[in-house]
A and B are shown apart, each in its own frame.
Chain A
Amino acid sequence: NAGVMQNPRHLVRRRGQEARLRCSPMKGHSHVYWYRQLPEEGLKFMVYLQKENIIDESGMPKERFSAEFPKEGPSILRIQQVVRGDSAAYFCASSPLAGFAGEQYFGPGTRLTVT
């Protein structure tokens, strides 16, 4: 059973470009969570999605950031018009249970560098 997969592992974007980060949850998991880790900090919750629904986006910046988890395919975290402050590691986790009741299994992360 493959773990949570994220791609790309490393992404370099120039200021103003768009970044798309992908997350494929573990088989059988329909709950996906995105976290951001700024340098020298812990992971911070961004958004929780179920298939085709955003359940909790209380940690998402109000502008430029969006997330989706379509019926088919991976979850996507999209950052428009990236700025240097978006440089961070972005982690996806998946769970078989709703909310935050179940164990979350983390992917290897995507390191975004904005030049």
Chain B
Amino acid sequence: AQTVTQSQPEMSVQEAETVTLSCTYDTSESDYYLFWYKQPPSRQMILVIRQEAYKQQNATENRFSVNFQKAAKSFSLKISDSQLGDAAMYFCAYRGNKLVFGAGTILRVKS
């Protein structure tokens, strides 16, 4: 069974600084997708960024980028120029024959 591990229960970052959230996963599948979702206090799940496993190039979406290391099964999220609105719970997720979520990392942004 696939598993997703987020080893940082909570992270803090100063406004305008950069922060990296860690995620590792375990799978025997070769074709899959990886995602980062943001869950603000409203609890709505918002897709931040996705990465196809067959693509070597790391995905980027504006201030959000990933460091995808397929051999190491690592998928970290970097948030540049952090803003107060980035404060939320962030979930790493794996999609193969199921959609599996990590336990989440709470990100706090200090002004």
Binding site for B on A (CB under 8 A): 33, 35, 40-45, 89, 91, 93, 99-100, 103-104, 106, 108-109, 111
Contacts and interface: CB of A to CB of B under 8 A. Distances in A.
Given A33-B99, A100-B99, A42 B91 contact: yes
B101 interface: yes
B98 A109 contact: no
A76 B70 CA distance: 38
B42 A108 contact: yes
For the complex, would chain B's binding face be called helix, strand, loop or mixed by DSSP majority?
Answer: loop
Contacts of A109: 43-45
A104 B104 contact: no
A57 to B, nearest CB: 13
5 contacts: A42-B93, A45-B100, A100-B97, A104-B99, A108-B42
B95 interface: yes
A41 B99 contact: no
B19 to A, nearest CB: 19
B51 to A, nearest CB: 13
Given A35-B101, A41-B103, 16 more contacts: A33-B99, A35-B99, A40-B103, A40-B104, A42-B91, A43-B45, A45-B98, A45-B99, A91-B45, A99-B97, A100-B95, A100-B98, A103-B47, A106-B44, A109-B44, A111-B43
Nearest to B9: A40
Contacts of B44: 106, 108-109
